[in-house]
């Protein structure tokens, strides 16, 4: 089945500010879903609260716009109950690293197979520009009465420390690479984290597109800007964690069926969402073994 | 008194005052003497002598100092005194010391010795606990097991929770029984997830429910406080979640391991904004099982969050009850869709009964949007003022539908109505029924209505039940009379008397009996506070 990019777009009016990085991210999400040809009813975008929260309304798959800071909790519940779904959670830096930081760490430990994208612009855009947890100490973006008094959290370091098994960073204005990163994140079996840098054209007047591009930092020799953003892959960095292969010479391998136990819960083959629970309005669950154990 | 193991300072103070007033020394002997004066019969047993006799008899001098065996001796003497056979004790000794047969033998010997000692010495003891014949199909359960079993039987396949007393016992029970059989010897399983907090617990329940799974969480007051925001999200998005709320005494940490019924008004109002929910309360362990199944049906039939009220008293009570019968429960999934043919599915499409056909994540043609914002029929954000009225009214109308369609006996249990009538809810049921029985033996009639459906409030049914009643007596385990406030809000006949208890201890039938009797004799204050156990 050929998937068209347009199939993954809704006709919902978009009220993000012109120049917002969110446009690039939502485009990359739609492109990634189309390229992977994921059937629309097999994908769900969960989003938090903030400008980025509206992302789920712009993608024509199941779209669950949740609560501030809680996107990961809703998304994990759905993925655990129905592992057939491709689940992408999206939210802002304040949503995920401020009010939702506890869930960020806990989700990393849990390593559920889904993707989490943080739209990182250093400010709370929807509430008119307060400092977010990723704004650097001492910066004074235009809404701040005083320079930021808090250290910035490093989302990448926090993700690694929390146990995310795939950690990446993209740039909202490099949609093609971002699309590839999203595809890799979705294909990764485990929890994938994607930190996406962007500008907030309305409230972050410091970390702007020009700032990322280094327009304020011109090389005197070449007269070219020195960009603050670069591609790690250009440095021949190998992100894959290699585990030494076991010493097979000393291993004796048994060739036989050793154990078969179908009574172990298998949430991939028998997930909560597909278990039949009733027939003609009657329960088909047999609790007699448990009741027997309580019999006096 | 200082040698008495850790007693609450306030309790110690009270004890000292009491013993001093009775002219007794501040010693254990003083306490015993005071008890004796109050009519308590004392049967002194010297365990030291028993041990020393045992040592002589078995020619094992070590036994003389075996004070660790005091527990076994004391239990055994008590059994002998009460006329109960020692078999169960001997069996547990065998179980506990199954890997140390010698120690088991020694303890059993001691138990038998103490038992024979007691039966010989107190043969004429007048209080005997006689064994009653076993009834067939009886199980011994605790409240948390009843709701747990109810969840398994009614097809709840996902539960998330954060550890909290007393609610988490249920989740641990579910995890201990996570695999089970479904019809035709197929495996079924409940996914139980321990989360980082209660916010995550309810978020996961909502996420799981969106996939068409029956899902629930179980919590107590402090945890439920954290769930308030998400409860509203489930309300506005019509997600049928079930929250089992095992109440304990608040506010804040309150009396964390003790009983209370002080979350009724909170359960009805938790969360900001107007949204429909059902609040349903069970009165005992058996109800816990069957009501759990009903709560899932209410949730799915009316597409709203259901809060199932239980409490610490039910959670931790051990009772022998009739074996639960899963055949008695029905599974009603409301308008949950199996298949969608239209290309233009609208999750919140209008309908005469306010209920829209419900899709779930993963269903072809069933794509929908949810949002905490007000939304249009597809679930996309809409701030249109007309749409706002339509959607608010659509959601609210489900409560009228619930009241209209729910059988009366599920709304409130009528144990007989009379001129004097007790109205209560939850686990006060047992002691109230006992107290009424005590009064009946004296020829005094008191009626009792146990309200089970607390939101929406069954006003019409209660009005019809109570129309011949002259005196309404509200009994509940909280300080402000929370059910009383509800009755006063909805009924023309205001509550005449309150009987309240908020010590964290459960009510006894005798203190309810005493309070009711005062009311019948027209000697009662409007509000009586129960203090048994103080």
Q: What is the pLDDT of residue A269?
A: 78
Listed residues B328, B351, B366: the one ending a domain: B328
Q: Give chain B's radius of gyration (CA, Å).
A: 28
Asked if B305 and B438 sit in the same domain, the reply is: no
Asked if B92 and B162 sit in the same domain, the reply is: no
**Residue B2, domain member (yes or no):** no
CATH number at residue B509: 3.40.50.920
Q: What is the pLDDT of residues A49-87, one digit of tens each?
A: 999 999 999 999 999 999 999 999 999 999 999 999 999
Confirm if B103 and B149 have CB atoms less than 8 A apart: no
Q: How far apart are CA A89 and CA A70, in angstroms?
A: 10
**Residue B39, domain member (yes or no):** no
Q: Which residues from B are below 8 Å from A63, CB to CB?
A: 367-370, 379
3-state secondary structure of B144: helix
Q: How far apart are CA A240 and CA B173, in angstroms?
A: 41
Instruction: Please judge whether A65 and B381 are an interchain contact, meaning their C-beta atoms are less than 8 angstroms apart.
Output: yes
For residue A162, give Cα distances in angstroms to A6, A96, B281: 36, 13, 40
Q: What is the pLDDT of residues B152-193, one digit of tens each?
A: 999 999 999 999 999 999 999 999 999 999 987 788 999 999
pLDDT band at A250 (very low <50, low <70, confident <90, very high): low
Asked if B179 and B258 sit in the same domain, the reply is: yes
Q: Which residues from A are below 8 Å from B178, CB to CB?
A: 265
Q: How far apart are CA A104 and CA A111, in angstroms?
A: 11
Asked if B286 and B359 sit in the same domain, the reply is: no
**Residue B380, domain member (yes or no):** yes
Q: How far apart are CA B41 and CA B326, in angstroms?
A: 47
Ranges of residues in chain B whose predicted pLDDT is under 50 = none
What whole-number percentage of chain A has pLDDT above 90? 85
Q: What is the pLDDT of residues B464-518, one digit of tens each?
A: 999 999 999 999 999 999 999 999 999 999 999 999 999 999 999 999 999 999 9
CA neighbor of B147 nearest in space, from B278, B261, B305, B316: B316
Q: What is the pLDDT of residue B124?
A: 79
CATH number at residue B190: 3.40.50.970
Instruction: Please judge whether A282 and B330 are an interchain contact, meaning their C-beta atoms are less than 8 angstroms apart.
Output: yes
Asked if B414 and B361 sit in the same domain, the reply is: no
Confirm if A275 and B145 have CB atoms less than 8 A apart: no
Between residues 78 and 117 of chain A, which touch chain B (CB distance below 8 Å)? 78-82, 84-85, 102-103, 105-106
In chain A, where are the structural domains located?
5-235
For residue B167, give Cα distances in angstroms to B70, B173, B192, B293: 34, 11, 14, 18
Q: What is the pLDDT of residue B43?
A: 86
Listed residues B406, B431, B446: the one ending a domain: B406
**Residue B79, domain member (yes or no):** yes
Query: Which among B182, B203, B331 is the nearest to A286, CB-wise?
Result: B182
Substitution target from B200, B215, B275, B342 for chain A, most A beta carbons within 10 A: B200
Instruction: Please judge whether B371 and A57 are an interchain contact, meaning their C-beta atoms are less than 8 angstroms apart.
Output: yes
Asked if B115 and B242 sit in the same domain, the reply is: no
Q: What is the pLDDT of residue B9?
A: 85
Q: What is the pLDDT of residue A261?
A: 63
Buried b (16+ CB within 10 A) or exposed e, B356-392: bbbbbbbbeebbbbbbbbbbbbbbbbbeeeeeeebbb
**Residue B149, domain member (yes or no):** yes
The total of structural domains in chain B comes to 4
Instruction: Please judge whether B157 and A275 are an interchain contact, meaning their C-beta atoms are less than 8 angstroms apart.
Output: yes
Q: Which residues from B are below 8 Å from A70, CB to CB?
A: 199-200, 203, 230
Q: How far apart are CA A32 and CA A38, in angstroms?
A: 9
pLDDT band at A256 (very low <50, low <70, confident <90, very high): low
What whole-number percentage of chain A has pLDDT above 70? 91
Q: Which residues from B are below 8 Å from A85, CB to CB?
A: 211, 361-362
Question: Thinking of the domain A5-235, which architecture would CATH place it in?
Answer: 3-Layer(aba) Sandwich (3.40)
Instruction: Please judge whether B207 and A102 are an interchain contact, meaning their C-beta atoms are less than 8 angstroms apart.
Output: no
Helix axis angle, B143-153 to B285-302, nearest 10°: 40
For B378, the domain range is: 335-406
Mean pLDDT of chain A: 92
Q: What is the pLDDT of residue B58?
A: 85
Q: Which residues are within 8 A (CB) of A52 and not within 5 positions of it... i.e. 6 or more apart?
A: A22, A25, A90, A91, A92, A95, A119
Asked if B369 and B514 sit in the same domain, the reply is: no
Q: What is the pLDDT of residue A44?
A: 98
**Residue B33, domain member (yes or no):** no
């Amino acid at each position: 089945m050929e998937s068209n990019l347009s199939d993954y777009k809704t006709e919902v009016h978009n009220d993000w500010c012109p120049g917002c990085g969110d446009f690039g991210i939502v485009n990359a999400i739609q492109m990634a879903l189309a390229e992977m040809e994921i059937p629309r009813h097999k994908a769900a975008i969960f989003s938090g609260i903030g400008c980025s929260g509206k992302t789920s309304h712009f993608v024509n798959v199941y779209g669950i716009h949740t609560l501030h800071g809680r996107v990961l909790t809703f998304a994990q519940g759905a993925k655990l109950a129905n592992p057939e779904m491709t689940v992408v959670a999206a939210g802002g830096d304040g949503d995920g690293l401020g009010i939702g930081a506890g869930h960020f760490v806990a989700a990393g430990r849990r390593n559920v197979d889904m993707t989490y994208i943080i739209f990182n612009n250093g400010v709370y855009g929807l509430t008119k520009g307060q400092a977010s947890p990723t704004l650097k100490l001492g910066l004074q973006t235009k809404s701040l009465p005083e320079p930021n008094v808090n250290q910035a959290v490093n989302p990448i370091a926090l993700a690694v420390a929390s146990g995310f098994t795939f950690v990446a960073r993209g740039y909202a204005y490099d949609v093609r690479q971002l699309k590839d990163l999203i595809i890799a994140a979705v294909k990764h079996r485990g929890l994938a984290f994607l930190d996406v840098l962007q500008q907030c054209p309305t409230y972050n007047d410091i970390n702007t597109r020009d700032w990322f591009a280094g327009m304020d930092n011109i090389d005197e020799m070449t007269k070219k800007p020195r960009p603050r953003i670069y591609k790690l892959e250009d440095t021949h960095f190998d992100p894959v964690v290699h585990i030494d292969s076991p010493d097979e010479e000393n291993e004796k391998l048994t060739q036989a069926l050793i154990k078969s136990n179908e009574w172990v819960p298998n949430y991939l083959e028998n997930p909560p969402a597909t278990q039949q629970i009733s027939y003609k309005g009657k329960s088909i669950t047999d609790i007699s073994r448990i009741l027997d154990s309580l019999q006096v | 008194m200082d040698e008495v193991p850790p007693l609450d300072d306030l309790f110690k103070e009270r004890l000292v005052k009491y013993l001093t007033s009775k002219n007794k020394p501040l010693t254990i002997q003083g306490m015993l003497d005071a008890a004796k004066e109050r009519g308590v019969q004392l049967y002194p047993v010297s365990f030291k002598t028993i041990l020393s006799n045992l040592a002589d008899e078995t020619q094992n001098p070590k036994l003389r100092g075996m004070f660790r065996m005091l527990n076994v001796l004391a239990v055994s003497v008590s059994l002998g005194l009460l006329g109960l056979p020692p078999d169960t004790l001997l069996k547990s000794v065998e179980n506990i010391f199954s890997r140390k047969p010698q120690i088991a033998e020694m303890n059993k010997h001691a138990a038998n010795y103490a038992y024979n000692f007691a039966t010989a010495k107190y043969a004429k003891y007048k209080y005997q606990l006689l064994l009653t014949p076993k009834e067939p199909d009886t199980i011994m359960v605790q409240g948390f097991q009843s709701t747990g079993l109810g969840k398994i039987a009614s097809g709840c396949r996902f539960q998330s929770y954060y550890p909290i007393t007393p609610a988490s016992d249920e989740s641990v029970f579910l995890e201990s029984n996570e695999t089970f059989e479904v019809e035709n010897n197929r495996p079924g399983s409940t996914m139980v997830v321990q989360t980082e907090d209660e916010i995550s617990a309810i978020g996961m329940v909502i996420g799981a429910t969106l996939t068409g799974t029956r899902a629930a969480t179980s919590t107590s007051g402090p945890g439920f406080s954290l769930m308030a925001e998400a409860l509203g999200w489930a309300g506005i998005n019509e997600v049928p979640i079930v929250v089992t709320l095992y109440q304990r005494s608040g506010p804040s940490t309150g009396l964390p391991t003790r009983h209370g019924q002080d979350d009724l008004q909170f359960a009805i109002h938790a969360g900001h904004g107007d949204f429909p929910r059902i609040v349903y309360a069970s009165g005992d362990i058996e109800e816990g099982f069957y009501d759990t199944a009903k709560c899932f049906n209410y949730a799915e039939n009316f597409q709203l969050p259901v809060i199932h009220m239980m409490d610490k008293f039910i959670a931790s009570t051990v009772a022998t009850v009739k074996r639960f019968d899963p055949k008695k429960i029905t599974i009603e999934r409301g308008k949950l869709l199996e298949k969608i043919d239209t290309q233009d599915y609208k999750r919140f499409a209008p309908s005469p009964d306010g209920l829209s056909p419900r899709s779930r994540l993963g269903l072809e043609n069933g794509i929908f949007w949810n949002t905490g914002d007000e939304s249009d029929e597809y679930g996309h954000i809409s701030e249109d003022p007309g749409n706002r009225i339509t959607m608010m009214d659509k959601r609210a109308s489900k409560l009228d539908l619930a009241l209209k369609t729910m059988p009366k006996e599920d709304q409130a249990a009528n144990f007989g109505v009379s001129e004097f009538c007790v109205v209560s809810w939850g686990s006060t049921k047992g002691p109230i029924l006992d107290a009424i029985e005590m009064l009946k033996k004296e020829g005094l009639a008191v009626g009792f209505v146990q309200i089970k459906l607390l939101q929406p409030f069954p006003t019409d049914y209660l009005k019809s039940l109570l129309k011949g009643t002259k005196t309404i007596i509200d009994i509940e385990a909280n300080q402000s009379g929370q059910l009383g406030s509800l009755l006063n809000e909805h009924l023309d006949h205001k509550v005449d008397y309150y009987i309240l208890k908020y010590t964290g201890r459960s009510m006894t039938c005798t203190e309810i009996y005493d309070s009711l009797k005062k009311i019948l004799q027209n000697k009662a204050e409007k509000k009586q506070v129960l203090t048994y156990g103080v």
